[in-house]
Amino acid sequence: MFACKVRCRTTVFLKVEEDELTLEEAKARFNEVKKQSRVISVKKIYDYKHWKNDHGEIAATMEVDVLVRHDPYVDYMADYELRACRVIREEFFTAGTAIQALDSQRFQPLRKRPFR
């Protein structure tokens, strides 16, 4: 059961093998990431950096919705927002970038189904 939905923003990095990528190829790579999890729904991808950095990665900024599981010992929405940021860190390679909670919505009654 899920207690809330939190919208977060972060920068996600993907490893690439090719030397040169076009912007369209980079967008296609990040669109593949959209279907990764049942508790995360990617809403928006922007600020594509389609050149490789020194570590062979490309980057993009994402806004994602995260369903956070209910915990009977948690009373404050800020604690659920922190847990949402932790879920994003586990699901995506964010390489130490900041994760910002933008918006949150508490479910009453609790939501039983994940995304999709």
What are the residue ranges spanned by the domains of the chain?
2-110
Is it the case that residue 73 has pLDDT exceeding 90?
Answer: yes
C-beta pairs of 103-107 under 8 Å, 24+ apart in sequence:
103/6, 103/7, 104/4, 104/5, 104/6, 104/7, 104/77, 104/80, 105/4, 105/5, 105/6, 106/3, 106/4, 106/77, 106/80, 107/2, 107/3, 107/4, 107/5
Q: What is the per-residue pLDDT for 21?
A: 79
CATH topology of domain 2-110: Alpha-Beta Plaits (3.30.70)
Average the pLDDT over 38-48 and give the result.
Answer: 89
Is it the case that residue 36 has pLDDT exceeding 70?
Answer: no
Indicate yes or no: pTM above 0.75: yes
Per-residue confidence at 102, pLDDT binned at 50, 70, 90? very high
Q: What is the per-residue pLDDT for 76?
A: 93
